[in-house]
Amino acid sequence: QPWALKIIPIRRIIRHNDTEQVRSEISMMIMLKGCRHVMRPVCAFVDAAEEAVVLVSEWAAGGTLRDHIERRIRHHSRFAEDQVSGIAGHLLSALLFMHSHGLVHRDVKPENVLVTADGVCKLADFGMVAFVTRVDEVFKNGPGSPIFAPPEYAFREDCDSRFDIWSLGVVLFEVAALR
């Protein structure tokens, strides 16, 4: 069975002072492994020879949602309504699971949605996840992708699970409108 590898050079971790963020991402992957619509972690380890931290997760043969959007744009072919609602359902399932654990993803975007061979959408990349109960954590590193962040972020108002729902709306608009 193929696996996906996220290789993070130790030099980069040290240079950007990301030790805690990498630890947090590994913890989040483990905490969220019970949801069908979240990428399932396999393991994490330090590869001394490559001088890198390696995160291993299930493989998504369909690529990213961004790949699917760009393919549709190139072929002038919109997603069918049931496809858009299916994507929405999968991502809402993942976000509901995260939010029920008091977590906000903060980086919901097409590049962080992976698609399996059978068309199941799975949320990935948990490096920006924060506990909703810690508002300062939501603002600490900024959103993963400002274009997908809600207006409240710009005004540093309370951001909770609505942060992800706004971002999901932007993603679904892009899927439906191909813009």
- Which are the catalytic amino acids? 107
Task: Tell me the CB-side half-sphere exposure of residue 35, using CA atoms within 13 A.
Answer: 25
**How far apart are alpha carbons 155 and 24 in whole angstroms?**
26
Q: How far is CA 120 from CA 56, 68, 99, 139, in A?
A: 19, 13, 20, 31
Q: Is 133 exposed, middle or buried (0-12, 13-18, 19+ CB in 10 A)?
A: exposed
Distance of CA 171 to the CA centre of its chain: 12
